[in-house]
Every structure is written in C-alpha cells, then in structure tokens.
Structure 1
Amino acid sequence: MDAGALMSFLAVDLLLVCVPGADWAYVIAAGLRGRSVLSAVAGLVCGYALHTVLATAGLAVLVAGSPGLLTALTVAGAGYLVWLGWGVLRRPAAPAAATEDARHRGSRVFLRGATISGLNPKGLLLYLSILPQFLTLRGAHLPVPAQTATLGLLHMACCAVVYLSVGALSRALLSARPAAARAVTRTSGAAMLGIGAFLLVERLATL
C-alpha cells in the first residue's frame, strides 16, 4: 500500500462520510437535546471499530456471504433506527431543557451511537465493497489484514472529525434558537425513522 492509495481512499471516504445519513441525524439530535456530542461521536466511531475488527479478521466476508445473518443485522439495525427516530419525534426537547442531566446520559448516548453504527449494514458493505479496492494484494510491505486495519482506522478518524464538526456547528448555530433547534431535531428524528424504514423495506423485499 502506497501513499497514493491512502490519499485516494481518504478522498472517497471523506465524500461518503460527508453525505448526511443516520450518523449525522444522531449527532445533530444528541447535540441539540443537550447531550454530549463527544459521547455520541465516540459511540459511532466505536461501532465502526467493530466493523474494522470484523473486516481485519475476515469475518465481514462471512457475514456478507450469509444472507440470513445479514438480514438479521439489517432488521435489527433498521428497527433500532425507527425506534430511536420515533422517540426523537415524540420528544424534540430544546437544548436548554435537556442540558442539566446531560452528564448522566453520557454512557447511554455512547451506547446508542455504537448500536447505530455497529448494526448498520451499510457500514459493513462499505468495508466489503469499497475498502478492498484500495488493498495491495501482491508485493505489498504490509499484509492484507494490516492494510485493512489501516484503512479502517482512517475511516474512523474521518468519521470523528466530520461528526464532531457537525455536532459542534449545529449546537453553536441553534443553541440560542429553541424553535429552530426543535425543528432541526424533528428533522433528524424523521431522517433516522425514514432511513430505518427504507432499510427494512429494502432488505425484506429481497427475501
């Protein structure tokens, strides 16, 4: 693996990470509801660490080759997104209303983030369909598992930088605007619910 391959992967990965999705929606919702953006992002990155470990160990290929297991993961992740999005829509609290007990919710915010990215089959497919294209199979100084781990860590770093920026900017711009914050929170909840429903329909339609 050379510097050119790393830079190419970085460019593609940043483009994908910068496309809003369930991760963005969760970070924005967590920040605007007075919860720790750092805990939310740490949880999301931890979920992708699981994908990195699976890909490095070769287990990701096994999951992709097992339709039943992949369907179970998809249904579990999509169902969790629907449940979480519905909860956000029901209680779109403004930042000031939720700040007092934000410290006590850090672990729960972390676990939710890890669940969202850890159960997201799209993350697994990212490691299966895109990452392998940047691996050097012959004549490389690093073995394939080490290359996979390197690219996985690079993806995790991209996620951390982008999501922390998104969370910080959303909180800074909307913390003094309760009505706008509630509207954005509702939009984030609707995005999570919609993405979850789409994943459910997409997977069940293939059965």
Structure 2
Amino acid sequence: MNYDDSLWLFFLLVSGIIAVPGMDMLFVLANGLTGGARAGLTATLGLVAGGAVHTLYGTLGTALLVTFAPALFLPLLIAGAAYMVWIGYTLIRSRIVVETVQGAGRTSTLKIAGRAMLTCLLNPKAYVFVIAVYPQFLRLEYGSFVAQGVVLGLITAGVQFSLYGGVALAASRARKMLLGAPRATIWLGRSVGIFMILAALITAGEGFLHYA
C-alpha cells in the first residue's frame, strides 16, 4: 500500500466514524436548531479545533514510540487493529438511533466554540480512536512524521467541517431525517462497522509486513 492509498483509506475511515451520530454531531445539531446556521457553524469550528488537538497528540505519540521504543510499535499496531475490529463488531451489532436533541439556548459565539472544543476533548472514544488508528497510518517510509500529521489533521478537519457544517446548515431537516428514519442510522452504524473491520485487517497486514 503506497502513501496515496493510505491517505484514501484514512479518509474513508475517518469519514465513516464522523458520519455515525454521536455526541459531537448532536452538539452541532442542537446549536443549529436553537441558534441557527451561525451557532451551528461556530460549534463545528470548535469541534475542528478539538480534532486538531487529537491529531497533535496522536502524531507526537506515534513519533515518540517509533523513535524511542520501536520494538513496541508492531504490538501496538496489532492491538490497535484488534481494537478497531472489536469496535466494528460492536457497531454491526448495535442499534444507533438519535432519539432526542437537547436545546442549547442562546449564548455567545465564543462560549459555543469553547463548549464544542471541550465536548470533543472530553470524548473518550476520540482518544482511544487516535491511539488505535494513528500508528497504522504514520509510517517512517512516508517521510516526516510532522508533515504526515499535518496531512492527516487537514483530512480530519476537512471531513469534520464538511459533515458537521452540512448538519449545521440544514439542522431542522437533519433532525427530521435522523428522528424519522431510525433504521437508516442503524444501518449506517453497521456499514461503518464492516468498513472498520476491513480497514483494520488491511492496515494490520501491511504493518506486519513492514515491521515484523
């Protein structure tokens, strides 16, 4: 798998994960419903900022691991792939349904952005996801870890802004769709689960060939 293929796989994986309704999407949806497009887009930018922090520690952590403890890299990569398989399996068996959206009330733009960033940073699944996934896409043969981290961060930010921004701009329609079509969100989650398992198997196999 070359670098371009790796980036496409990362893009598809991140897109699938972000598209699954969760606390971040609900935060954008709530602000879009209560404060309009401006509040929803502000919340989106706050989540993008939080995602940038996740990218930073994911990149630095992987770089330190490869530099100072390379022997641990392959076991961590395999463990991360196994975790992705487990998450994929739970998504396939789950019934993800958006049931309610809590109103956020009118508040300042700065507070909305701050709360959005905090929501992203307090999401434990995001930390585990970064720890599990980033070692599988940051490779020495692809060049500078800093440059790779910037690219992964830009991809993540672009996906976040596109998906969450779309929800913010069409909040009322998105709410009706999610509340009125529970089976759609269930099958979305299951589809993402299948993709996560396939991606984990591919990256684990590539990692084993490179680092075994």
TM-score band w.r.t. shorter chain: 0.5 to 0.7
Cross-structure match for 2:41: 38
Task: Please give the root-mean-square deviation of Cα atoms over the aligned residues, in Å.
Answer: 3.0
TM-score, structure 1 normalization: 0.59
CA distance in 2, matches of 1:161, 1:22: 17
Cross-structure match for 1:112: 115
TM-score, structure 2 normalization: 0.58
- For residues 16-41 of structure 1, what are the alpha-carbon distances to aligned partners after superposition, in whole Å with 9 as ceiling and x for unaligned? 11100001110111111125111100
Cross-structure match for 1:22: 23
Q: How does 1:63-74 map to 2 (within 5 A)?
A: none
- Following superposition, the deviation at residue 166 of structure 1 comes to 1.3
- Is residue 6 of structure 1 aligned with residue 7 of structure 2? yes
Summarize the Cα distance change of 1:125–1:149 in structure 2 as closer, same or farther, 3 Å threshold. Answer: farther
Cross-structure match for 1:52: 55
- For residues 25-83 of structure 1, what are the alpha-carbon distances to aligned partners after superposition, in whole Å with 9 as ceiling and x for unaligned? 10111111125111100111111111112223228989xxxxxxxxxxxxxxxxxxxxx
Structure 2: gaps of 5 or more residues? 66-100, 180-212
- Following superposition, the deviation at residue 158 of structure 1 comes to 0.6
CA contact (8 A) 1:60 1:128 kept: no
**Aligned residue identity for 1:47:** G
Structure 1: gaps of 5 or more residues? 63-87, 175-179, 185-207
- Following superposition, the deviation at residue 165 of structure 1 comes to 0.7
Q: Normalized per residue, which structure has more helix?
A: 2
- Matched pairs, number: 141
CA contact (8 A) 1:52 1:153 kept: no
Cross-structure match for 1:66: none
CA distance in 2, matches of 1:25, 1:113: 11
